[in-house]
Structures are given as structure tokens and as C-alpha cells.
């Protein structure tokens, strides 16, 4: 079976997901500013989604390099 995503695209998406996870982690760790009101963006779930994207892209990159990770 041929993959439609190249290794370059896979690693680029992994870098984007990593940047998203790091940024969301930084924003989620900041103390709340009660003068501005409640936070309207749920940073911690966004951080977890970014980390999940990194893991999926790294597994895909390993598969592209020839390692079998499934059945």
C-alpha cells in the first residue's frame, strides 16, 4: 500500500502540532486574569489534541521508514 503523505509533509505536520501543543500549554499554564473575565478558549484540551497529533505523525513517520507498528 502506498502512502499519500511524504516523510517531509509528515514531519512538517508533526512540527506544527508540536508548536500548537507548546503554545497551548504555555497559555493554559498562565494564571487567570479576573479583570479580563473568564478564559474563552480551553487551552488544555487544545494542548492534548496537539500532543496527540504529534504522536500520530511520529508513528506515521516511523511507518514510512519501514517499521511495522500494526498487524
Q: How many CA atoms lie within 13 A of 66 on its CB side?
A: 0
50-56-61 Cα angle (round to 5): 125
> What integer pLDDT is reported at residue 71 of this predicted model?
75
Number of other CB atoms surrounding residue 50 within 10 Å: 20
Residue 43 burial by Cβ neighbours in a 10 Å radius (0-12, 13-18, 19+): middle
Per-residue pLDDT of the chain (71 residues; tens, 9 = 90+): 565 889 999 999 999 999 999 999 999 999 988 898 888 899 999 999 999 999 999 999 999 998 887 77
Amino acid at each position: 500500500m502506498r502512502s499519500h503523505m511524504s516523510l517531509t509533509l509528515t514531519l512538517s505536520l508533526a512540527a506544527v502540532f508540536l508548536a500548537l501543543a507548546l503554545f497551548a500549554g504555555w497559555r493554559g499554564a498562565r494564571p487567570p486574569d479576573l479583570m479580563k473575565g473568564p478564559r474563552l478558549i480551553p487551552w488544555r484540551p487544545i494542548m492534548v489534541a496537539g500532543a496527540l497529533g504529534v504522536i500520530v505523525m511520529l508513528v506515521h513517520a516511523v511507518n514510512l521508514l519501514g517499521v511495522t507498528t500494526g498487524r
